[in-house]
């Protein structure tokens, strides 16, 4: 499975367009992390716990998108985009989406 933020795969023609595929996940931070983060909030700096949490979540959203693309019989996802939105206080939704295609 090829994933790219470009609109084409260099050197390979697009055989078939299979439509948009997406994967998303909603994650909440647990309270322990929140307490550690509130200390960091006084002195500033990177919140490693949140960084990890979000990259895990993004990985999951990404994998769900890939799974959907595979189910459609695609071998590449073009023009991949990520968005993040906070649905509620302390929870964020991560969405990955792109165009599933069949390339040579």
Give least dist CB 79 to other proteins, A: 8
* Residue with smaller CB distance to other proteins, 36 or 72: 36
Identify residues 20-79 at the interface with other proteins (CB under 8 A).
Answer: 34, 37-38, 40-48, 50-51, 54-55, 58
Give least dist CB 86 to other proteins, A: 6
Query: 10-17: long-range contacts at Cβ-Cβ below 8 A with a sequence spacing of 24 or more?
Result: 12/76, 12/103, 12/104, 13/103, 13/104, 14/78, 14/101, 14/102, 14/103, 15/101, 15/102, 15/103, 15/104, 16/101, 16/102, 17/99, 17/100, 17/101
* Residue with smaller CB distance to other proteins, 4 or 72: 4
Residue 87 as a binder of other proteins (CB under 8 A): the answer is: no
Contact 18, 73 (CB under 8 A): yes
Rule CB under 8 A: which residues touch other proteins? Answer: 2-7, 9-12, 34, 37-38, 40-48, 50-51, 54-55, 58, 80-86, 89-90, 92
């Amino acid at each position: 499975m090829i994933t790219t933020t470009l609109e084409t795969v260099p050197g390979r023609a697009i055989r078939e367009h299979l439509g948009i595929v997406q994967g998303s996940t909603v994650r909440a931070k647990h309270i322990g992390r929140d307490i550690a983060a509130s200390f960091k909030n006084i002195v500033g700096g990177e919140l490693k716990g949140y960084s990890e949490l979000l990259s895990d979540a993004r990985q999951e959203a990404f994998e769900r998108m890939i799974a959907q693309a595979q189910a459609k019989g695609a071998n590449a996802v073009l023009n991949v985009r990520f968005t993040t939105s906070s649905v509620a206080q302390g929870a964020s939704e991560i969405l990955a989406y792109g165009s599933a295609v069949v390339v040579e």
